[in-house]
Structure 1
């Protein structure tokens, strides 16, 4: 297997984020954490993931501050994994992935899970807006890159 290249020193914020959460198991764990799962056994049952892979992904997510590991009971060895404030900041990422999947990966009328607002029962929609409130898309934006040294 080819060793994965670390992107933690990259100038691109997307690359640095992918260095932490860029594999599908990590994103599926984060999805399940948003769905209220906290226990190792819950993640394993939901994902059907090997215990060693799940343990490694949970450890990585805790080390990078996405999840916090807390003992279930005082002095106990079992842990619960909860999203930190940093982990909760992934909510728009998860909504964007969901909207992409809904828009492009399901046949018309094909049933799928839905994300709704608890208070109103309405579907949740993610919009990208400029600081002044205008809706913007890919043709309206530009990435300003860090100049190469020398």
Structure 2
């Protein structure tokens, strides 16, 4: 069995994020939570994932603070999964992935699900990266300042 590489102590925010929610099942669970899924069976039906895999991913998302379990909204003995504030903060990530997918993986006119503004019913504008002063930024306009660790001789 292959040992999974962990990035939870990395200096890179992308690596830590991927460590927390980087597999496709976890991102699809988060997507479904945004779409209103709350119960294990709802996630399982939507995703068609094996129960053991779904159980492991849900536990990891709860342990990572992305989801929490709450008493069922209908008063039954069941528990439901809801996004935490940390999970809701993934909304722009899910929107960005959706928009990237729409742009790169569908032929013009090919039908696909659409995310629309609930109030107006209109499709969302494309997400943009902006500088603090409002300028639109692209990859060539940015630099990552990496953490430099001091080397010690012991």
Q: Could you tell me the TM-score, scaled by structure 2's length? A: 0.92
Stretch deviating more after TM superposition (65-74 or 45-54): 65-74
Q: Structure 1: give runs of 5+ residues left out of the alignment.
A: none
The 5-angstrom pairing of residues 5-16 of structure 1 reads 5-16=5-16
Which residue does 2:21 correspond to in 1?
Answer: 21
| Runs of 5+ unmatched residues, structure 2 | none
Q: Name the CA distance, whole Å, in 2 between partners of 1:37 and 1:140.
A: 39
Residue in structure 1 matched with residue 137 of structure 2 by the alignment = 136
Two-structure CA RMSD over aligned residues (Å): 1.3
What's the CA shift for 1:79?
A: 1.2
Q: Please list, as runs of the form range in 1=range in 2, the aligned pairs for 1:56-135 lying within 5 A after superposition.
A: 56-72=56-72, 76=77, 78-125=78-125, 126-135=127-136
Q: Distance in 1 between matches of 2:80 and 2:117?
A: 26
Q: Distance in 1 between matches of 2:141 and 2:39?
A: 42
Q: Aligned partners of 1:121, 1:129: CA distance in 2, in Å?
A: 26
CA distance in structure 1 between the partners assigned to 2:139 and 2:20 by the alignment = 24
Structure 2: how far apart are the matches of 1:13 and 1:122? Answer: 33
Aligned equivalents of 1:101 and 1:8: distance in 2?
27
Instruction: Find the structure with the greater CA-based Rg.
Output: 2
CA deviation map 1:58-116 (0-9, x unaligned)? 0110111101111216682x210001111000001001100110000011110011111
Task: Give the C-alpha shift of residue 128 in structure 1.
Answer: 1.1
| CA displacement at 1:27 relative to structure 2 | 0.1
Aligned-pair CA distance for 1:119:
1.1
Structure 1 segments of 4+ aligned residues over 6 angstroms from their partners: none
Matched residues, number: 149
